Amino acid sequence: MNILHLKYALEVEKTESITKAAKTLYVGQPNLSKAIKELENTVGFNIFLRTPKGMTPTRKGKEFLDQARTIVLKFDELESIYQPVKPTTQRFTISIPRASYISRAFTRFVKTLDPQKEIELNFFETNSIRAIDNILETECNLGVIRFHTSHEKYFLDLIREKNLQFREIWLFEYVLLLSRNHPLADLPVITYADVLDYIEIVHGDLTIPMNQFSSSQTAQNLLPVSKRIYVYERGSQFDLLCNVPETYMWVSPIPADLAERYQLVQRKCKMENWKFKDVLIYPSGYQLSSQDQVFISELFRSKDEVSSIHYD
């Protein structure tokens, strides 16, 4: 039995749901269910009654949770008394793929900071391998990695090998980002063959170590495109897209107001197996700070907004 498991149980009692508690605690649902089961095995009785309507404390569970609440309150009180004084500098570091919805989340996060205190933020836009390395080699505690679903096993194995925790953000299909004046913008259906005559914009440092995958697996940088512009930051991609109508780009869905600002449209393209995942990663055993949790909240808020947009 440990204090963390007691806090987990109290959150489940509060929300009456493993799913809701996991979201609040930023813990994977399977891990939370396992922790509650371990706690029940330790005390020797069921703390919760599991019903279709949710998690309800048993009679003995209610007594146990009342005691647990007292213990947790005393522990927090003791910790606050003897915890070293925290520096006032607001620090945050993260490595992410180049994704506008994540950049939007970061901007919103920055707006929550106290401008009267010192601020030290590091925001790296890079590829998935570099994001993992940044966590292992620097003081970067949070990262978001992106991979094609055919590469999922490789990346999840790598995460476990490097002793990192992870949480899936979302599974999505790339959309085509085009100028409103692009010749394909008004087509009722766009196929991959339609885009081959146009100029693709692609981030130049997204190369994946392809020797890790079989030759049958497809990555974006292996698609047979003869016209490409490689960029290394997001600003130039928008300038190119809105000023050179013959260009296009594969992106995760972007905020609607950002597309409007640059006079761009987002269109689905008929392609098989064009699904990607964004996954949040951080060191195993790392305790998420309050600022980490604020950013993560904004991250999922931004994701929910772009995932609900209707794309033509």
Cα-based distances in Å from 265 to 67, 83, 105, 229, 236: 57, 52, 21, 19, 17
Look up the CATH number of domain 3-82: 1.10.10.10
The predicted-structure confidence for 121-143, as pLDDT tens digits, reads as follows 999 999 999 999 999 988 788 99
Locate 113 and state its tokens: 């900071």
Cα-based distances in Å from 133 to 97, 144, 158, 173: 14, 12, 11, 26
> Which pTM was predicted?
0.68
Fold of 93-209+219-312: D-Maltodextrin-Binding Protein; domain 2 (3.40.190)
Tell me the pLDDT of the chain (312 aa) as tens digits: 788 899 999 999 999 999 999 888 888 888 889 999 999 999 999 999 998 888 999 999 999 999 999 999 988 888 777 766 556 788 899 999 999 999 999 999 999 999 999 999 999 999 999 999 999 988 788 999 999 999 999 999 999 999 999 999 999 999 999 999 999 999 988 998 999 999 999 988 765 544 444 433 334 444 677 899 999 878 899 999 999 999 999 999 999 999 999 999 999 998 888 899 999 999 988 889 889 999 999 999 999 999 987 665
Domain extent listing, the chain: 3-82, 93-209+219-312
The predicted-structure confidence for 28-45, as pLDDT tens digits, reads as follows 888 889 999 999 999 999
| Distance of alpha carbon 128 from alpha carbon 281, whole angstroms | 10
| Residue-by-residue DSSP string for the chain | --HHHHHHHHHHHHHT-HHHHHHHHT--HHHHHHHHHHHHHHHTS-SEEEETTEEEE-HHHHHHHHHHHHHHHHHHHHHHHHSPPPPS-EEEEEEE-S-HHHHHHHHHHHHTS-TTS-EEEEEEE--HHHHHHHHHHSS--EEEEEEEGGGHHHHHHHHHHTTEEEEEEEEEE-EEEEETTSTTTT-SS-BHHHHTTSEEEEETT----GGGS-TT---GGGS--S-EEEESSHHHHHHHHHH-TTEEEEES---HHHHHHTTEEEE--B-SS-EEEEEEEEETT----HHHHHHHHHHHHHHHHHHTS---
Nearest CA-CA partner of 249 in 174, 190, 145, 170: 174
Going across the sheet that includes 228-231, the strands are 228-231, 199-203, 247-251, 175-179, 264-267
